[in-house]
C-alpha cells in the first residue's frame, strides 16, 4: 500500500505556489503553510488507498461519551435552528454515529446523513432509519437542495476541502446555513507549544496537537473565514465555547477573532455561515 501522495506544489485552497515547510511532527509528517492565505496543511498527504483503509473502521464506540455527545450535538443544532429561516432539509456530512441527524429528526427536520465509507453508511442507516449518502460528497449526484448543512470535525480530515465546499455551495439553498466544527490551530495551547518547539524547549511529542495521524488541514479563525468568504459564504459567527450571542456587535466579533482567540479560545471552534 502506498501511504503518501506526491508532494503538493501549490495551495489547494487559493492556488498559490508560495508554500513552505512550517513545522515537522515527531512522526516525520511535514506541515506546510501558504504564504498567501496562511492555511496550514500536511504535505505530502496520505494516499486515497491509505485513507480508505483508515476510514473503513473509523467509527468508534462512543457509548461512555454518549451523554456528552448528545448535549454537544444538540447545541450545534440549536445554533443552526437560530440561524436557519426554515426547519427543512438538513444534510450532515460525516455523520459518525448519527447523533446530530437523530436529534434533528426528533426536532422536526428532514435529515440526511453521509459517510465516506459505504459499509459504515449502511450500518448507520439500519441503526437510525435515516437515509445516508456514501462516498466522496463532490462525486455524488445530489438532486435535493438543503436548508442547512453541517460538518462536525470533518473538514480537517479532507484531502480536498475546496471540492467539498464547492459541492456544499451547489446543494445548499440560497440563504441556507452551513455549520462547521473544527480544531483551531491558533488556540493558546497550540501557539504556546509551537513556540516551545520552535525554540527547542520542547523536544518530545513535537506537533502532537496537529494530529497528523488523520488530520490533513489546520485552520485558524482567519483562514477558515477567508476560505469560506472566497467561496460565496457570509460568516455569521466564528466562536469558541458555548452561550454565544449571535446578535453581538460586529466590532466585538472582530476583537474576539483577531485578539481574544489567541488568548482565551479553546482548541476547537465553531463556524456559522450563510450562502449568499
pLDDT at 260: 85
- pLDDT tens track for 31-72: 999 999 999 999 999 999 998 888 776 656 666 667 888 999
Helix, strand, coil percentages in the chain from 3-state DSSP, rounded to 5: 35, 25, 40
| Residue 273: strand pairing partners | 178, 235
Q: Tell me the domain boundaries of the chain.
A: 64-184+219-275
Grid cell locating 220 = 485558524
Q: Using CA atoms, how far apart are residues 273 and 178, in angstroms rounded to an integer?
A: 5
- Spell 226-256 as b/e; 16+ CB within 10 A means b: bbbeebbbebbbbbbeeebeeeeeeeebeeb
64-184+219-275, CATH topology level? Rossmann fold (3.40.50)
153, pLDDT greater than 80: yes
What band does 242 get if pLDDT is binned at 50, 70 and 90?
Answer: confident
112, pLDDT greater than 90: yes
Kindly state the percentage of the chain with pLDDT values over 70.
97
Amino acid at each position: 500500500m502506498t501511504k503518501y501522495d506526491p508532494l503538493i506544489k501549490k495551495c489547494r485552497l487559493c492556488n498559490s505556489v508560495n508554500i513552505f515547510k512550517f513545522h515537522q511532527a515527531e512522526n516525520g509528517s511535514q506541515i506546510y503553510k501558504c504564504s498567501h492565505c496562511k492555511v496550514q496543511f500536511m504535505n505530502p498527504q496520505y494516499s486515497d488507498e491509505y485513507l480508505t483503509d483508515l476510514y473503513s473502521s473509523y467509527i468508534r464506540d462512543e457509548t461512555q461519551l454518549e451523554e456528552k455527545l448528545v448535549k454537544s450535538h444538540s447545541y450545534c443544532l440549536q445554533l443552526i435552528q437560530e440561524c436557519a429561516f426554515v426547519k427543512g432539509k438538513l444534510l450532515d456530512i460525516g455523520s459518525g454515529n448519527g447523533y446530530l441527524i437523530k436529534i434533528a429528526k426528533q426536532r422536526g427536520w428532514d435529515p440526511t446523513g453521509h459517510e465516506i465509507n459505504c459499509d459504515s453508511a449502511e450500518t448507520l442507516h439500519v441503526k437510525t432509519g435515516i437515509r445516508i449518502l456514501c462516498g466522496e460528497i463532490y462525486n455524488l449526484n445530489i438532486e435535493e437542495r438543503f436548508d442547512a448543512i453541517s460538518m462536525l470535525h470533518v473538514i480537517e480530515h479532507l484531502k480536498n476541502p475546496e471540492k467539498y465546499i464547492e459541492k456544499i455551495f451547489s446543494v445548499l439553498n440560497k440563504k441556507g446555513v452551513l455549520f462547521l466544527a473544527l480544531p483551531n490551530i491558533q488556540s493558546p495551547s497550540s501557539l504556546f507549544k509551537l513556540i516551545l518547539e520552535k525554540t527547542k524547549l520542547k523536544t518530545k511529542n513535537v506537533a502532537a496537537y496537529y494530529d497528523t495521524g488523520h488530520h490533513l488541514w489546520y485552520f485558524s479563525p482567519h483562514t477558515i473565514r477567508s476560505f469560506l468568504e472566497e467561496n460565496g459564504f457570509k460568516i455569521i459567527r466564528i466562536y469558541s465555547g458555548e452561550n454565544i450571542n449571535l446578535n453581538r456587535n460586529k466590532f466585538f466579533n472582530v476583537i474576539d477573532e483577531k485578539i481574544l482567540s489567541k488568548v482565551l479560545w479553546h482548541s476547537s471552534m465553531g463556524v456559522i455561515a450563510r450562502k449568499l
